[in-house]
Every structure is written in structure tokens, then in C-alpha cells.
A and B are shown apart, each in its own frame.
Chain A
Amino acid sequence: MQIFLKYLPNEDGVTKEWALVEVQGELGSREETSLDGQFVGDLYYNREGSPILIIGHHILFGNVQKLEKPFAVLEKVRGSNEAKTEYSVKAVIKRKLCFRERPKPIVGAFTNSSNPNDTEELVQVG
């Protein structure tokens, strides 16, 4: 059996570069709703270039890491022939934002939040 990896480079022939964010635990919704298009949180960088992620009532401080070994992002594609599985290399990932520490709670309520897609729906389980 042989499965060939196909490339989908940019028009200029360069492999696309994607990015990774690593967080502790799981990202999920408290309700069993579809995650389609759901809001998760806000990402900033401080003046030192360290990332800050705010998810619901939690704030996470992280750092930017260059991966020692890059990742290839593979996508399984069903070939025209039903039984045949193919993979394509969508992109490579060379850097990630890493949030290893446990999230810190943000004290104080968001009194003016009226959005039904409320941030509180998404929780992080450490």
C-alpha cells in the first residue's frame, strides 16, 4: 500500500505557514452546542511580545516559541475512488504560542455584556 502526500503550495510555490496555539486542558462549550463559528477569546501581545489570551473570565499569559522541529499539517482527502485515501500537506507550522500556566481569573463582572454568544459559555478545564 502506498499513500502519496500531495502538496498545495501557494501560487509562488512556497509552502504556506500556519500557526499553533497550545493551551492547557480542553476548550469546549458548557452547553452541547456546535462549536461552528463560536467565539473563544481575545489575543493580545504586550510590549515585550508575550501573548496574552483572554477566555471568558480567565486570562492566560504565554510565550512565543519557535518549534525545534516544525509540524506539517496534513489533511485527509477522499480521492475520487471511494476506497482510496490521500493526504495533502496543507502547510507547515514553525512557531507556536504556548500557554502552559494555569489561567488566572479576572476579577469583576462584565456588566455591559449582552451578547448571546457570551464568552462565559466557553470554559477551559485545566
Chain B
Amino acid sequence: MSLAHPLATGRSAEEINAILSAAKLDKKDLLAVAQEIAFAEGFSGTQYRLVELPKEVAENIRVGNSLVFRGDSSDHAVLCTEQATYEIKEAETSNSLLIFEELAFPEQAQRTSRWSSDSSSASSKSPDSVSNLPIIPITAAGDKLPQDDDGGDAVLRDEEIVVRTIQDIVHSYFELKKITPNLSKIRNVLALTCYKGLGEDDDIPEVEFITLDKLLELIPASEGEITGYLKSIRVMECDGFLRLIDDSYLYRVFTLVNGLVDENSWRIDRIPKSVVIRTLISLEPPIVIEKIFEWFFCKNSEENEDIYCMKEDEICRFYGEVLLMPGGRFNVSEFMKIWQESVPEGLRVNVKQLEGTAVTNSHVTPPVIWYFPEHNLPDVVTDRFAVLFEAKPKWRLEEITPFLQNLPSCQSAGVLLTKFARVNTLNGVKYYSSKHSK
């Protein structure tokens, strides 16, 4: 609330006019707003903090979406919207930033383009004062200010002065910078309670189970990014707990589903989900079958919600991972043959399906392929490049790019390669290698 009366500081209009004239300011040359600045009652200097808002965060505030600070003692705190994560950095300034709850800007003054001019209408500060008479301010030189031509007072009156209070003074503010959060920790957090099938949970202590709420406490990232990642690493929610699924268990259940497809001679794009769940209900929990349909199948019919189609890339990738995971290097042509034979009939394997999860080296004879998942690589950029170039000295752009995504640095693969790798051209093909290699 702005207070017109009384002036918080108890100054009189005369004093204020004296200052104005000493400063050689004429009321005629000023917009019709005079604001007296004072510290607020109970001013502490520590009440508020300023956070600079990128456009999309400001928009989140405008529409009332929730914002949350996240991070544990070992992490830097981050600020999260529903979908994005921002690093918080404090910026210092040698200037003082005075925070006002209310302050009139020039256009508010222009709305009332003139000062109140009727000297008789205004209420005075005290009934017996002489302020209804024109106040003639004393300037430094002692001469009179000229009267305003259009009949207004040349001087300020009490009621024309509003008090604005400084709520706080700060010398720093927080800057927000959008980052790609480090989500790889999630896998480790959930690894202890990996789901391996019915009756396998009995050995896991109750306290190890993780809920989404608990995970949000542990991981400094937005809820949208966290749930997106959970989906990408195939986590299911079971009795309120988040469960990674053991790969060999998942493979076993998938082969059961695929066995049914074979048995019934269903086409790979005409699989009735309800029949699969009904048939396998005595063997495996329906939630696992539901999840298998969510991850490896897609709806294929507008008129029948129950008909699903196999997702070729997802399934081939999963089979490839299962084959490579036990370890060791495989002859590429032999591997491709075994891989093709292993996948459900009708699906075609392609080495591109293993991007970010396996590496092929064609510079050796015979060419080899091995399991090399992106999520096992270090998060520090220099360390990651060291591991990549140790695994294979020369990389084509499309080979290395999948291993440079999802880094917390938020820089594109191209920028990272320019900074941390050397480029050579061999037979017209560009190869990236370590900066320190010969």
C-alpha cells in the first residue's frame, strides 16, 4: 500500500521543495509523481534473494507451475521446472540492488499528465498550517521560483508525495543455466533392487526399495527428465517401488511371449495382448507382460485396441545386448549371423540398432564387435574421451556421436570433438582420434 500521508520521515513539503530548488529542478520539468524513498520498518537486509529467470522459467512462474530446488550435500543445488534442470550460480555485483514492493514508473506518472493544480482543493498536512497558501521555496540563491504558466503550483504539496519503502538491498543474485542432468546415478541406485522374478524379492531388505519420491530426493534433475530416463532404462513401478528388471529375466519372459507368437502363428503385426497376458498369467506377473508390450510392441490397429505389432529396432537391440553382454569380442560377420537367427522371425537386424551400446572395430582383421554401453562410461568429458580412445583409436563421426550424448556438459558432439579430439582424413573418410595420439 502506498501511503500519501503522513510522510514516513515527517519531513514537510517545504523542506522537499527547498531540496528541489537547490538541485535546480523545476516542478514544471518533472512528471507528476514524487516518491520519497525510505527503508522499510523492520528492514533486515537479508529477507529476499533474487533469481534471474530464463524466459521459459519465467513462463512457468507466470502460469503457476511448481519449481523445486533439488540436490544432496555432495551435489550442487539445481532448480527444476517440470521438464528441465538449471544449474544455480551466484553472480556478485558491486552495485546495490534496492528491492521495492511498489514504485511508480514514468508511464504511471504520464497517465496523470499534470500535477494537481487547484491549490484550494487539497487537504493540508495539518489543519492549522499555512500550507494552503502558495509555498515559496527558498533556493540556494534565495530567489523565488516562477509560477507555473498553466496555473499549477510550482511547488510540491504533501499529498503529491508518496512514500516508497526499500524492502531489501542485495549485492548478488542467482543465475540459472540449463543443464543436462547426470541421470546415470539412477541405474546404480536401483540396481540393488533389480527384479528377477516371482519370489526373488525375499532376500532384498525392505529399506533398499526406492519410490519415485525417494528418487526425486536423491537425483538433482527435473521430474520429467527422471521419468523419461526411467522409461529408457526399462524401469517398472511395482507396489509403489521402482524396479529395474534383470536382463536375463526379461529375456526369459520375452521368449515366453515370442513362443506364444510362434505357437499361434500370429503375424508379428497382429499380436493380441489380452490373449498373451491370459495365457501367461500363471507363469509370470501380468505387470511384467504389460511392460513388455509397452517397451517392445506398439498398438497397430485403430479399431482393435488389443492388437499389437513388434517394434523391430527395440527387440533386435535387446537381443543383441543379451548376446554381447556376457563379454568378449565377437567376429562381426559371425555375430551378425547368430544375432539374425536369434531374433523373432520376420525382424531384420542392423548394426545401427546397437548404437550407443556396442562398438565395432573394422581396423582389425577380422573386424570385431563388443558390448560397450554408454551408461557405463564416465560422466567427466575428458575421462570419457580417454575411455573411448582407449577402446578404439579411430572413430567415424556417426560411430562416436551416440557416446557423446547425455553428457551433463550440455554441449553438442561436434563442439566436444572440436575441443577434445583430432580429426584426420583417411581415404576420404573423416576419423576422430585422441589429441595426444601420434
Contact = CB atoms under 8 A, between A and B. Distances in A.
Interface in B299-331: none
B66 interface: yes
Interface of B is mostly: mixed
Contact of B68 (A3, A47, A53, A113): A3
B39 interface: yes
Contacts of A76: 47, 49
A19 B64 contact: no
B105 A21 contact: no
B224 to A, nearest CB: 15
A7 B64 CA distance: 7
B98 A74 contact: no
A38 B43 CA distance: 9
A126 B62 CA distance: 37
B415 interface: no
Given A44-B34, A76-B49, A4 B64 contact: no
Nearest to B72: A1
Nearest to A75: B48
Nearest to A114: B15
Interface string B32-43: 011111111111
B95 A24 contact: yes
A45 B112 CA distance: 13
Contact of B100 (A19, A34, A47, A69): A19
Interface residues of B, number: 75
Interface string B53-86: 1110010011010111111110000000000000
B38 A39 contact: yes
A25 B68 contact: no
B161 to A, nearest CB: 8
Contact of A110 (B15, B38, B94): B15
A16 to B, nearest CB: 8
Contacts of A31: none
A54 B16 CA distance: 10
Contact of A3 (B58, B69, B72, B101): B69
B199 interface: no
A22 interface: yes
Contacts of A25: 94-96
A15 B110 CA distance: 24
Contact of B39 (A35, A59, A100, A112): A35
B75 to A, nearest CB: 9
A80 B43 CA distance: 23
B37 A42 contact: yes
Nearest to B176: A69
22 contacts: A3-B68, A4-B67, A20-B98, A21-B103, A22-B95, A22-B96, A35-B45, A36-B40, A38-B38, A40-B39, A42-B19, A43-B164, A45-B31, A46-B30, A49-B31, A53-B37, A59-B23, A70-B52, A92-B53, A92-B61, A100-B95, A111-B138
| 9 smallest beta-carbon distances between A and B, as pairs | A108-B140, A49-B106, A39-B9, A19-B103, A3-B69, A45-B31, A21-B98, A43-B35, A5-B67
